[in-house]
Amino acid sequence: MNCLNTFSNRIKRLELLNKYTMLLNPADNIQMCNNIKYKSFSNLYIPDSPLSDNQIEEASIGFANRNSSAKFIQELLEQWKIKFNAEECTLRPLSGMHSLHIILSSLKNHGNRILVLPEKAGGHPFTSKILQSFNFDARPLIYNQENYLLDIEANIKAYKKFNPDFILIDRSDGLIYEDFSKLLKYFKNSYSIFDASHYLTHILAEDYISPFEMGFNLITSSLHKNFPGPQKGILITKKKDTIWSNIKNVLSNHISNTHPLSIMCAGEILLKTKYIRDYSYKMLNNKLLLENELINKGFNIISTPKYQISSNHIWIEEKGLVNNAMKFFRDLEFCRISTNYRILPFNIGSGIRLGTAGITNQGLDKNYIKALADILYSIAINGKSLNNRHRVKGIILEMNSNLKK
């Protein structure tokens, strides 16, 4: 009984901590769907689509009263396909990283040579380790350090003889939503994969061009970063090809359930078309307003180059006001501001990465930008303080109050 009370008290304390924390970490978001309404599905094994008697006999196992739920899941998956003009998709993966594991284990029978976005150009820090574990012949894409982009011409020149089987763009850290059309057009026989984890809402809102329009074959994404959904992964294929068939086989061998509660929650958010469009606009606008205000305060901000499509990320360099990025990171944490300490890409060095996905769902708009920048400036100059922690809580309460109006 004492253990149960301790557990309950700890949960309450953690809930309060989360409630009064500003989400400025690009990987943090708020799930804009209440799972409780789908709780009757939480422990059920439900397939991706209704099963016939022959399919059940062939699998040697079947569960009763599942086909109606499976049909509903099939209809939700159809909505994702419509949004992306795609032939098929699945939400079986448990996360974005899990999706990548599934993809790479599915590709081994189709080739070995792969071009990958390096970590120094914003690629995911763990991708190279995963590629090594599968023994791919992986080569880093060449980047332009001054413009924070890939050097397309240099890549074509360097790798035309390499003739890659695959191209993987998994940018987890970037200021720009880059157009890879020219690269993919040249390597048109390469199977290409795009990770949309930090761009998904903007793609759905049509603020960003779809990766399929650039020429990618497969989109992978988490659903809890830029998209305000559950912790889940999604795979979307432009065409039902042999690689997709292999991916489906690997999925069915590794994941026995669709986890319908998460699929239903993600589907509910997807169908909120107006919310998605408004949210995308607000997220990007908040980034621009906050970035400008921080520059005015004297922070060393690595700004998005002119005439490029901006992401919702902000990079604060370890320089000037922030002469110790780790200390600033910990001071912000004390004041209940969640950020991301990073060795920033393109050889910039240590710094702080901010993002506006989570805090926009907490109610951030132009009316609170200056107050937020003032707090960040105060922490950079004076360090952590209870006063700034209380200021953070006050802004969160006010933003939440306005959201309910």
Name the nearest CA neighbour of 385 among 340, 338, 341, 332: 332
Looking at residue 49, its pLDDT comes to 80
Looking at residue 357, its pLDDT comes to 97
Note the CATH architecture for domain 22-31+276-403.
Alpha-Beta Complex (3.90)
Answering whether pTM is above 0.85, one says yes
CATH class, 35-270 region: alpha beta
Tokens 């996905």 found at: 357
Looking at residue 328, its pLDDT comes to 97
- Predicted confidence (pLDDT) at residue 218 exceeds the cutoff of 60: yes
Q: What is the pLDDT of residues 256-305, one digit of tens each?
A: 778 888 999 999 999 999 999 999 999 999 999 999 999 999 999 999 98
**Helix extents (H) in 150-272:** 152-159, 181-186, 200-204, 211-214, 242-254, 260-270
Residue 31's φ and ψ, nearest 5 degrees, are -70, 115
- Predicted confidence (pLDDT) at residue 115 exceeds the cutoff of 70: yes
Q: What is the pLDDT of residues 8-53, one digit of tens each?
A: 888 889 998 899 999 999 999 999 988 778 878 777 788 778 888 8
Q: What is the pLDDT of residues 142-167, one digit of tens each?
A: 999 989 999 999 999 999 999 999 99
- Predicted confidence (pLDDT) at residue 224 exceeds the cutoff of 70: yes
Residue 332 Cα to chain centre, angstroms: 23
Mean pLDDT of the chain: 92
Q: What is the pLDDT of residues 325-337, one digit of tens each?
A: 999 999 999 999 9
Looking at residue 405, its pLDDT comes to 64
Rounded CA-CA distance 91/201 in Å is: 16
The C-alpha angle 337, 340, 344, rounded to 5 degrees, equals 145
Contact 87, 68 (CB under 8 A): no
Looking at residue 284, its pLDDT comes to 97
Rounded CA-CA distance 31/38 in Å is: 14
Rounded CA-CA distance 9/2 in Å is: 11
Under the phi-then-psi rule, with left for phi > 0, alpha for psi from -120 to 50, and beta for the rest, what region is 232? beta
Domain spans in the chain, listed from the N-terminal domain onward: 22-31+276-403, 35-270
Q: What is the pLDDT of residues 42-89, one digit of tens each?
A: 777 887 788 888 888 887 888 888 888 889 899 999 999 999 999 999
Rounded CA-CA distance 128/118 in Å is: 8
